[in-house]
Structure 1
Amino acid sequence: MLKFLSLSVLLLGATVAHAERGMLDWADLIDEAAQSYEDPYRDLSAEQLTALVEVATMQSQLAATLDDDQRSELTQRLTDVKVAFAEDGIDADWLIAQRWVVAERRRNAAWAGDQAVDGQTVTLGGYAIPAPADQDGVPTLYLVPERGMCSHMPPPPPNQMVRVRLVGDWRPKTIYEPVRLTGQMTVVPTEREVIVVDGPVRMQAAFTMEAIEVEPLAFTGQTSAEGNAWAEQMAQRLRGVKGQDLNEN
């Protein structure tokens, strides 16, 4: 009997440990190795970035048909801006030539999901954005880490968005409904257009989850005076803090 109880305790401990390992934060979805890349724009000041855009614009204008006076004035302005860059040790022409290279690096970093979660059954909390059903009829939603994303705020990078295929009867009653989902996560990039609050939004998700459990979280719509306390309480619930009563208001 004692041996049986000891084995039960060990199995219970292993189950709890496994569940804790399956609870993810949003930062766990990012492939950190892919975030280190050369970006020559990163150290430019706001003024330098504005000036660089001006250089690119003037170069484009010079390629158009201009009269002699316009061309002379534009050429002088362009020379002055490039000289200012050179005084700071910056090659403006090289920077402009790098723009598509850097854009591709940034895109790759934004789409890079951590392969360690691929195929794993995990739990993740966030805010649900209702979406149309998939072609096979399975209802879907998008899970994002913050309220307002994709409508009042820009969409998150793809490695911070999860396309979720739902099971059971639960559906979000409203946009940004707080929820905690458990299911098998795969690194399967998807893109599609979804109508959100302000119109169509291109939803780019690096992950797909096949949900097996849905845990709606309380949303009480507190006043602004209670906002900070509510935000902290919701953050705790989304992180799955031990001992937190999910039905508590």
Structure 2
Amino acid sequence: MRKTLLALVGCLFAHVAAAQSPITWPDLIDPTAQLYEDPFRDLSFEQLEKLRVVAKAEQTLEDGVSATETRDEIEARLNDAKASLAEQGIDAPNLLSQRWVVAERRKKAAEAGNAALDGELVVLAGYAIPAPPADDGTPVAYLVPERGMCSHTPPPKPNQMVRVLLKGDWRPATMHEPVQVRGRLSLSDTTHDIQVVDGLVPMRAAYEMEATGTLTKQDLQDTADSRQENAWAAAIVERLRASGQLPQNKNGDSN
């Protein structure tokens, strides 16, 4: 009966583990949004600097020349930069005409979440940032991939931040507390200003998760301690069995 019960429990845990797939932070990024044409990607730093010279000079000529520079000086700098790029096979006006389109593509690549994960039960590890509760009183935390984000460094991209609705007893006790969260993930673009170390920070997340459980550093330590104790106990049992001091049950197993 005991073996049957253990088998049933094992099957139950296997089913739960299968239903909640471990994912990593790169999995949250929309892979389709990363495939786009970017004519600026392979340019060298020097080439990009010359493009900036062209863009700035054209804007200055359009807005009006200041008293500190003559129009001839600005046009000479503009023509020199264009000529240098043209010698390298780079059409500066054509490239600059695409910059806003490329900027929009880059923005989408940094913000778009992976539609394949929408509604999925997942397990994700990261660092938790305490946040004010939701309007209905549900406790909230933000999960980020690296320690320090949103406080001493800028927030991550939206598709690298998860707004977590905490359903259990656990709450982050400190800023950037390491934790593994499991629950249902959904694509939900939200922005909330929260107070962190350096003041108010806009927390824009592409995802929201209804957490059904958490695993903290202390939980992992307790599990490791329990395994060590079990291993120690098993070693004692084995020694007693080998010495004949431990009676055997009918199935040949130790009581």
Alignment of 1:164-179 (within 5 A): 164-179=164-179
The equivalences for 1:31-180 within 5 A come to: 31-66=30-65, 70-180=70-180
Q: Deviations over 1:14-47 (max 9, x none)?
A: 516515x511111221221221101111111122
CA distance in 1, matches of 2:215, 2:225: 9
- Structure 1 residue 247, shift from structure 2 partner: 8.6
- Give the residue type in structure 2 aligned to 1:50: E
Kept in 1, the 8 Å contact 2:185–2:208? The answer is yes
Deviations 1:78-126 (A, max 9, x none): 1100111111111112222212111111111122222222111211110
Aligned residue runs from structure 1 range 152-231, under 5 A:
152-218=152-218
Aligned residue identity for 1:211: A
Q: 1:94 and 1:29, CA in 2 relative to 1: closer, same or farther beyond 3 A?
A: same
TM-score (norm 1): 0.78
Equivalent pair of 2:23/2:122 in contact (CA under 8 Å) = yes
Kept in 1: contact 2:168–2:211 (CA 8 A): no
Find the counterpart in structure 2 of residue 245 from structure 1.
224
Shift of 1:213: 1.0
Q: Which runs of 4+ in 1 moved over 6 A?
A: none
Contact 1:165–1:210 (8 Å) recurs in 2: yes
Gaps of 5+ in 2: 228-255
Distance 1:246 1:110 in 2: 41
Q: What count of residue pairs does the alignment treat as equivalent?
A: 222
Say whether the 8 Å CA contact 1:181–1:214 is kept in structure 2. yes
Deviates more, 1:99-108 or 1:56-65: 56-65
Residue 93 to residue 199, structure 1, CA distance change in 2 (3 Å) = farther
Pairwise CA distance, 1:180: 0.9
Tell me, yes or no, if the aligned pair for 2:29 and 2:160 is still in contact at 8 Å: yes
Partners of 2:15 and 2:216 in 1: how far apart? 23
Deviation at 1:9, TM superposition (A): 8.5
* In structure 1, distance between residues paired with 2:51 and 2:226: 53
Q: Is the 8 A contact 1:151 1:196 kept in 2?
A: yes
Q: Contact between 1:218 and 1:247, CA under 8 Å: does it hold in 2?
A: no
Distance apart, 1:194 and its partner CA: 2.3
> Which deviates further from its counterpart, 46-55 or 139-148?
46-55
